[in-house]
């Protein structure tokens, strides 16, 4: 465990700005007292809130920024307007300069990805960064990527996502050889897009030391926790994520209406309250808040813009765990192993 670990925060990001960002940082500090923070934002908005958290203030350095990126800014507009000047850019840049180990923002997703790619650059051996997040399952948690950073992906890119997702699972779940599955429309080898089938063949033939490739998985296998890492391209990954979120809200609303519909159901709710509390805790989206941009020369965490302080704290702690457990070095090592396999394959084909 390092003596200190520094997190840079885009204090103005998200739907609720400094209230949630600083409240979340204060909660994370209670859980991990060795944290320090670099705070970036507009002085008039951030400093009055920071005064409410004296312990956080004592381990934080504040940087006044000229502008903030809004949730409605287009990525290109954010880059033009906010490069060098915005709290979002400067929080990312602090990772590039070695002043912080991790950047966390609840701000505009497209702007954060564009700025992160422009500032940190894509890591060697990666053609496209991917957005990865933790997905609650019946047996625990899985990692799913890509969740929207890319629309479409070829076989090599799906393999890159597999390597990065497995490295993330090793860093967060303490697994030596995570199981990895490619999301497909069936488990049979003849089904699905050519890129998915080719990626499956590459992963099976490579038999990488740190990845246990398990073949194709279907949509309903994600929630079952059939594999530790589910890999897809961003279009279908984002649809799967939004569908799952919508279904969870729908079920919660149906339960709420059903439990309050009659005196008998209200009594039944009271008798089963502990069971419903356990269900609510397992389905609480704050526990899995935070998606990481994998494939960059630095760790950037995207928190949900509408989360509360507890959820933002979870995103900070995810970034902490990735830095402590050497996520970037694990990805680099595994990519080198796959690159060696790929080179040998090409030499054999000549």
Query: Quick one: pLDDT at residue 281?
Result: 61
164 and 67 in a common domain: no
The mean pLDDT value for 136-156 works out to: 89
What CATH number did the domain enclosing 225 receive?
3.40.718.10
Kindly state whether residue 167 falls inside one of the protein's structural domains: yes
Contact between 10 and 103 (Cβ < 8 Å) = yes
The mean pLDDT value for 118-130 works out to: 91
279 and 159 in a common domain: yes
Tokens of 2: 């390092």
Residue 56 banded pLDDT, cuts 50, 70, 90: very high
Where a domain ends, among 254, 285, 316?
A: 285
111 and 200 in a common domain: no
The mean pLDDT value for 243-269 works out to: 75
43 and 96 in a common domain: yes
255 and 117 in a common domain: no
Kindly state whether residue 332 falls inside one of the protein's structural domains: no
The mean pLDDT value for 45-59 works out to: 96
The mean pLDDT value for 256-273 works out to: 72
319 and 239 in a common domain: no
pLDDT-above-70 percentage for the chain: 93
Kindly state whether residue 281 falls inside one of the protein's structural domains: yes
Domain around 200: 130-285
Q: Is 198 exposed, middle or buried (0-12, 13-18, 19+ CB in 10 A)?
A: middle
Kindly state whether residue 67 falls inside one of the protein's structural domains: yes
144 and 276 in a common domain: yes
Query: Quick one: pLDDT at residue 54?
Result: 96
Where a domain ends, among 230, 262, 285?
A: 285
175 and 277 in a common domain: yes
The mean pLDDT value for 80-85 works out to: 83
The mean pLDDT value for 308-317 works out to: 93
Kindly state whether residue 330 falls inside one of the protein's structural domains: no
Tokens of 202: 């590459």
Query: Quick one: pLDDT at residue 263?
Result: 77
172 and 91 in a common domain: no
Separation between Cα atoms, residue 8 and residue 349, nearest integer Å:
47
Q: What angle do CA 342, 347, 350 make, to 5 degrees?
A: 130
Task: Please state at what angle helix 75-82 crosses helix 109-120, rounded to 10 degrees.
Answer: 60
Separation between Cα atoms, residue 272 and residue 124, nearest integer Å:
53
Q: Give alpha helix (H) positions in 174-218.
A: 194-206
Separation between Cα atoms, residue 49 and residue 47, nearest integer Å:
5
150 and 105 in a common domain: no
Kindly state whether residue 341 falls inside one of the protein's structural domains: no
Asked whether the predicted pLDDT for residue 300 surpasses 90, the reply is yes
280 and 143 in a common domain: yes
Residue 36 banded pLDDT, cuts 50, 70, 90: very high
Kindly report, residue by residue over 184-214, the tens digit of the pLDDT. 998 888 888 899 999 999 999 988 888 999 9
Q: Rounded mean pLDDT of the chain?
A: 88
Q: Which of 234, 230, 239 is nearest to 143 (CA)?
A: 230
Number of domains in the chain: 2
Kindly report, residue by residue over 206-248, the tens digit of the pLDDT. 888 889 999 999 999 998 999 999 999 989 988 888 887 787 7
The mean pLDDT value for 267-293 works out to: 68
Residue 280 banded pLDDT, cuts 50, 70, 90: low
279 and 135 in a common domain: yes
Contact between 225 and 181 (Cβ < 8 Å) = no
Kindly state whether residue 237 falls inside one of the protein's structural domains: yes
Q: Order across the sheet with 229-231: list the strands.
A: 60-64, 35-41, 5-10, 102-105, 299-302, 291-294, 130-137, 140-145, 229-231, 179-183, 212-217
Residue 131 per-residue DSSP state: E
Kindly state whether residue 268 falls inside one of the protein's structural domains: yes
């Amino acid at each position: 465990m390092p003596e200190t670990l520094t997190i840079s925060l885009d204090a103005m990001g998200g739907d609720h700005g400094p209230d949630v960002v600083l409240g979340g940082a204060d909660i994370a500090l209670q859980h991990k007292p060795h944290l320090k923070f670099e705070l970036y934002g507009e002085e008039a908005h951030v400093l009055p809130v920071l005064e409410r958290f004296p312990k956080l203030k004592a381990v934080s350095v504040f940087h006044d920024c000229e502008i903030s990126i809004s949730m409605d800014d287009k990525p290109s507009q954010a880059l033009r307007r906010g490069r060098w000047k915005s709290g979002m850019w400067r929080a990312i840049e602090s990772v590039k300069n070695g002043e912080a180990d991790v950047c966390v923002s609840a701000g505009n997703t497209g702007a954060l990805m564009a700025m992160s790619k422009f500032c940190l650059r894509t890591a060697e051996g990666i053609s496209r960064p991917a957005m990865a997040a933790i997905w609650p399952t019946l047996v625990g948690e899985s990692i799913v990527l890509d969740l929207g950073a890319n629309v479409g992906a070829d076989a090599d890119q799906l393999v890159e996502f597999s390597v990065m997702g497995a490295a993330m699972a090793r860093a967060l779940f303490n697994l030596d050889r995570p199981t990895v599955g490619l999301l497909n429309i069936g488990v049979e080898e003849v089904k699905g897009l050519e890129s998915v089938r080719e990626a499956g063949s590459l992963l099976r033939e490579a038999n990488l030391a740190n990845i246990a490739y398990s073949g194709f998985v279907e949509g309903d296998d994600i929630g079952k926790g059939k594999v530790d890492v589910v890999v897809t391209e961003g279009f279908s990954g984002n649809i799967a994520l939004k569908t799952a979120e919508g279904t969870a809200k729908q079920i919660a609303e149906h339960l709420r209406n059903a439990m309050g519909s009659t005196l008998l159901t209200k009594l039944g709710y009271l008798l089963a309250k502990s069971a419903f509390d356990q269900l609510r805790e397992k389905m609480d989206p704050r526990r899995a808040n935070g998606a990481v941009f994998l494939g960059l020369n630095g760790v950037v965490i995207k928190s949900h813009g509408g989360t509360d302080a507890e959820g933002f704290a979870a995103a900070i702690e995810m970034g902490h765990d990735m830095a402590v457990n050497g996520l970037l070095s694990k990805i680099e090592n595994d990519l080198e192993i796959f690159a060696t396999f790929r080179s040998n394959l090409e030499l054999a084909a000549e």
